[in-house]
């Protein structure tokens, strides 16, 4: 592929591919945003022009994700990693426990932060199986007195994804959806809180979306630093301090793109079609490629696989790079290969990867 004439086949895990149409619109508006004579990056976050961008993004997210009226939408900073700390800071009082379902590295990081601030415990873990699967719902035993239950909806490193979420009753269910938010419809009403870094399916890095039930907001501790209280951001429409204005603008444009694609039902169908191309290449390879995740737990966002040995993997990745594929290396912690097929990755890129995998197998079998 000629890099001068064509965009790369971008399978990066994050920051990841953005819709070309969104990038082109941002390019057109970059210097003079909608007649203001300024870039959106130069606008005051208190200006009517930016407030319109900000509120439109919130309203479009609420509409597309079918967020009920008793939830707040916040745009924060610090990524999901800061949420790992803010959640127990706000919602894990002394004398209570919080349950964590361990399905990968990001679950581990969230749990470790909670340990610094309170008493978390493991509801279930698939670590002994190298995080190849999501626990069965009937394996999840939590306490009715728990402050909350925490899950990671999609695991980028290991390539697993929850297909169905547990019913936690009166215990708030909190989900890190950083790597699959807006990739499919979700019943938001099952959750006390959903949070996600934007840099995989929603926009560039720098914005963190928090969707939080108003009842949970009321339970938060009050004696916390101002910036670490969810109530601070809720009361100020996420404008307490200067927000990442360009990131919010881009997030709004990505949401507009999802709307134009037909909404989450259409996006979900498209994602299934894309992932199937690559999973079929793995499953039909007679062991030349080996998927990491068990079939019942496979992610539609992060497809992880290995080849017979490290030498063959190095050759595969080197030749893929030469052919214009970007981001196919597995996470540094486990190696192997990974194709991240987020919303903005076009089906043509997945078809090209499938064809490359078939051709590589034929030449190296």
**Which residues are catalytic, by number?**
106, 176, 200
Strand partners, 305: 291, 337
* Phi, psi for 338 (deg, rounded to 5): -150, 130
- The H or E element that residue 347 is part of is helix 347-364
5 CB-contact burial (10 Å; exposed 0-12 / middle 13-18 / buried 19+): exposed
Rounded to whole angstroms, the Cα distance separating 295 from 311 reads 26
Written as one string, the DSSP assignment of 263-282 is HHHHHHHHHHHHHHHHHHHH
Alpha helices by DSSP H, listed for 188-244, are: 214-219, 230-235
> Residue 86's closest CA among 186, 232, 188?
232
CA-CA distance, 95 to 108, in Å (whole number)?
22
Cβ count within 10 A of residue 48:
10
Is the separation of the CB atoms in 218 and 339 below 8 Å?
no
């Amino acid at each position: 592929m000629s890099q001068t004439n064509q965009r790369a086949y971008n399978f990066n895990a994050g920051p990841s591919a953005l819709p070309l149409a969104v990038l082109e619109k941002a390019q057109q508006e970059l210097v003079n945003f909608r007649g203001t004579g300024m870039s959106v990056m130069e606008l005051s976050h208190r200006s009517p022009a930016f407030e319109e961008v900000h509120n439109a993004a919130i309203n479009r997210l609420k509409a597309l994700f079918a967020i009920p009226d008793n939830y707040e939408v916040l745009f924060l900073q610090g990524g999901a990693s800061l949420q790992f700390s803010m959640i127990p800071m706000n919602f894990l009082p002394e004398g209570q426990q919080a349950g964590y379902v361990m399905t990968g590295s990001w679950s581990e990081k969230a749990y470790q932060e909670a340990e610094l601030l309170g008493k978390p415990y493991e509801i279930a873990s698939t670590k002994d199986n190298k995080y190849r699967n999501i626990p069965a719902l009937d394996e999840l035993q939590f306490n009715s007195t728990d402050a909350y239950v925490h899950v990671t909806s999609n695991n980028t490193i290991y390539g697993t994804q929850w297909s169905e979420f547990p019913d936690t009753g009166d215990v708030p269910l909190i989900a890190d959806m950083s790597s699959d938010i807006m990739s499919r419809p979700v019943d938001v009403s099952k959750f006390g809180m959903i949070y996600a870094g934007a840099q995989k399916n929603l926009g560039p890095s720098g914005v963190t979306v928090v969707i939080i039930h108003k009842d949970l907001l009321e339970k938060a501790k009050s004696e916390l630093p101002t910036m670490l209280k969810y109530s601070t951001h809720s009361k100020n429409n996420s404008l307490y301090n200067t927000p990442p204005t360009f990131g919010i603008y881009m997030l709004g444009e990505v949401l507009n793109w999802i709307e134009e694609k037909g909404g989450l039902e259409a996006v979900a169908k498209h994602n299934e079609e894309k992932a199937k191309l690559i999973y079929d290449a793995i499953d039909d390879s007679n062991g030349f490629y080996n998927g990491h995740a068990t079939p019942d737990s496979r992610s539609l966002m992060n497809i992880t696989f290995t080849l017979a040995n490290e030498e063959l993997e190095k050759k595969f990745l080197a030749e893929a790079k030469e052919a214009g594929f970007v981001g196919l290396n597995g996470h540094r912690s486990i190696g192997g290969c990974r194709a991240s097929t987020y919303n903005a990755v076009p089906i043509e890129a997945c078809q090209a990867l499938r064809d490359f995998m078939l051709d590589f197998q034929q030449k190296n079998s």
